Structure formats: C-alpha cells, structure tokens
Amino acid sequence: MSSLQNKKIILGITGSIAAYKAAQLVRLLAKSGAEVQVLMTDAATGFITPLTLSTLSKRPVLTGIHTEEGWNNHVELGLWADALVIAPLTATTLAKLSMGIADNILAAVYLSARCPVFFAPAMDLDMWKHPAVQGHVERLQSFGNHLIPVGYGELASGLTGEGRMAEPEEIVRLLEEFLAKKQDLTGKKILITAGPTYEPIDPVRFVGNRSSGRMGVALANAAARRGASVTLILGPSKLSPTEPSVETIRVETAQQMYDQALRCFPAADAAIMAAAVADYRPAEVADEKIKKAGEEMNIRLVKNPDIAATLGSRKQPGQIIIGFALETNNEADNAREKLLKKNMDCIVLNSLRDAGAGFDVPTNRVMLLFKDNNSLHFELKHKDAVAEDILDAAVRLWNVSSTI
Ligand code: C5P
C-alpha cells in the first residue's frame, strides 16, 4: 500500500508552462489514494484550467482568497493537510513565500501550514541560477521546507540547462519516501530544554556557558519529524528549530527556564533536558553597569533551581525524563548518580575527553545509561543521528512502562 493512502495533500500550482504537468501529478496522487486539494494562483489559470484539475481531484479548485460564496479559510486548510506540495513554483511565488507576502490563496496557506512543505521550482536556466532565486531557495530550506530538485534538459525558452520542474513520477516518489519514514512519536507531547542560560550581573554582563543549543534543537527537529508535538524551551542560542511545528519558547535565565518547564511538564509525555543550565546566579543584579574600581571584585553567587530534579519529583506514571551529563572524571558513576538523584529514566553521558563530542561541535559521542543498570554505547555521530538514538530510547522506555 502506498504511504500516500488517505493522506491529505494540498497541491499549489503557479504560473509556469510546467503547470500542464500538474494534471498528471494530481492523477498520480489520486491513484495512490491521496485526497488532493488544488490551489492555483491567477497566473496558473492561464496555463491550465481549474476545470481540468477539479475533475481529476474531484474537489473544487481554489484560485483566490475570496470567492463569490465567501472567504476561503486558509488557516483551516493549512492545518488540514498532511503535506503541501508546490509544483511548479515560479520565481515570483518563490520570492513571495520567502518574504512572507500573502497576496494569494497559495501564499496564505503556505504561511499558515504546519505540515511538511515540498517545492518543485520551474524556470529558465539563467533565472534559476540568479543569486536572488538561489537566496530564496536557501531561505525556504532554512524554514525546513523540502526542495524537489530541478531537472536538466530542454526548457520552454529553447535553451538547454537546469530549471525544468521535476517529473510528476519523481515528485510522487519523493513524497511517498518521506511519508513512509517512521512517525512513531505521533500523539506524543515532548518537552525539551536546550541551550545555555545567561544569569545577569548588571544590564550588560552575565554569567553563562559555551553551550550552543545544537543537541536540543536537533532533538526538537527529529521529534517533530517523527510526529511528536514538541515544545522547546530554548536559552540564548543562535539556533532555531527548522521544523515549523516546533513550539519554541525563548528564555534567558535558569529561573525563566524553570518557570516555563514547570508550566509545560504536566501535559508532557516526556521531558528531555538538554539545556546547560547555570548552577549559580549572581545574588544581586545591579541596576546600572558596574563601574571599574579596585584590583579585585567579588560576585556572590546563589544556587539556581534544578529543573530536571524538580520535574523528577513531580513525574507521574507514563511520563519519562531523559537528562544529560557532561562529565570530566568518573563519568559513568557520576552520571548514574545523577540519574537516580534526579529521578530520571535515562541519562545521556557525553565525555569532554572525546574529541568531537560535547559543546559547540556538530558531532557527539554518547552513552545512554538506564535506571535498570543497562547502558548503550554509540560511536561518534552527527548530533542529528544522536537525536534519533535518544528518541529510540524514549520509545523503548514508553513501551516498557506501558507493559508493567
Ligand atoms: O547536575 P548536572 O547539571 O550535571 O545535571 C545535568 C542535567 O540536569 C542536564 O540534563 C541538565 O539539563 C539538568 N539540569 C537542570 N537544571 C539545573 C541543572 C541541571 O535541569 N539547574
């Protein structure tokens, strides 16, 4: 059975000669069992008629934000779909999506969609190569949208080169491949803390650490891709999740992270505590910038609340907590002690001794320790792959707790 069976697909068509291929695309999607809702820009209707597409999709085609009957609810449509496919995508609509200009039904649905978005550009070779177009393609990819690569061949202009829209068969194959990936976290709510915390000394200075937030952001993206509903409480990090469905709450201090984590935890099935929370904060925060004076200066620090330990003490049956430990000596013993003390179900140990592991690097080498004394050792991998290993552990923990 095709992974497109019973999937709700919105197909957005823009004004390119390649729009004629959209008829074949709708046919193939429908044949695979998908429900297809076609949206067209005004320009697209000059290349292929809405009547052709509504006949093939067995649904009225939407061509504007308003019709004579009323307003088309783009927010509802954006939530309805399992995937939004834009094929063909012209340079003009690409630029609108990149800049957030919602002056047609397709762009409005794009901005309100929470589902994965696929886009298949179609244009002449020089247009395709132009830095303006390439910049917009990169921007859409940075939003987590999936580029369906252009093909090489004869173009409508008579020139030969890159810029042809991918063939409908290829688009359907990519969609099927994506939808077949594991969605084993569907229905799960996952709370993730990530990044450093900054503890203010005065209006311009703070006590912080070198955590980049990479591991936590990778976890948030991976969990969202596997179908979880993810809330990411993110300290001051340059990164943001690329999966559009992740709800990100930005915080600065440990206290703010604590408040948000406690608020969100009761509804969560799992909390993954990847943040490098400052253990101490300045006892007093000066209202004005502290002036230079004397040869020495002391800052008195007081303890921050332990977020993981607090959640551990409030954990309900069915909830799991996964923490992190970054140790420099007696690694496994220290990590195991933390696992028990904070009432976690699993702790991810990364050692600073490993080159390529730990803070501010794209890779990590971890060991997972469990309450029952079991442990799993992994090779040095990209943090995206480490995130998948950690989520696999969460799935196993839920399966065990549901059979007890
Ligand atoms: O005790 P330690 O800081 O080494 O423990 C690390 C684990 O505890 C991490 O999962 C970290 O996110 C969490 N933690 C926390 N709140 C703190 C300190 C650590 O949630 N104040």
Quote the pLDDT of residue 358.
66
Flag whether the pTM goes above 0.75: no
Report which ligand 1 atom has the smallest distance to the Cα of 275.
12
189-403: CATH superfamily: CoaB-like (3.40.50.10300)
Residues facing 249 on adjacent strands: 233
Phi and psi of 349, rounded to 5°?
-100, 120
Name residue 151's beta-bridge partners: 164
Which residues of the chain carry a pLDDT beneath 50?
A: none
Q: Please list every protein residue whose CB sits less than 6 Å from any atom of ligand 1.
A: 193, 254, 273, 275, 277, 279, 304, 306-308, 323-325, 338
Q: What is the pLDDT of residue 304?
A: 98
Q: Which of 73, 209, 334, 343 is catalytic?
A: 209
Q: Domain boundaries in the chain?
A: 8-180, 189-403
CATH 3.40.50.1950 applies to domain 8-180: yes
Question: Which of 273, 333, 359 most suits a substitution to test ligand 1, by most atoms within 8 Å of the C-beta?
Answer: 273
Mutate to test the pocket of ligand 1, among 211, 301, 307, 313 (most ligand atoms within 8 A of CB): 307
Closest CA to 182 of 153, 222, 147: 222
Equal CATH topology for 8-180 and 189-403:
yes
Q: How high is the pLDDT of residue 362?
A: 82
Q: How far is CA 295 from the centre of its chain?
A: 48
Cα gap 398→188, rounded to integer Å: 10
Decide if 374 is catalytic: no
Question: What number does the ligand 1 atom closest to the CA of 261 have?
Answer: 20
Return the pLDDT at 61. Answer: 96
Evaluate whether 282 touches 301 at the Cβ level (below 8 Å). Answer: yes
- Contact indicator for 65, 43 with CB cutoff of 8 Å: no
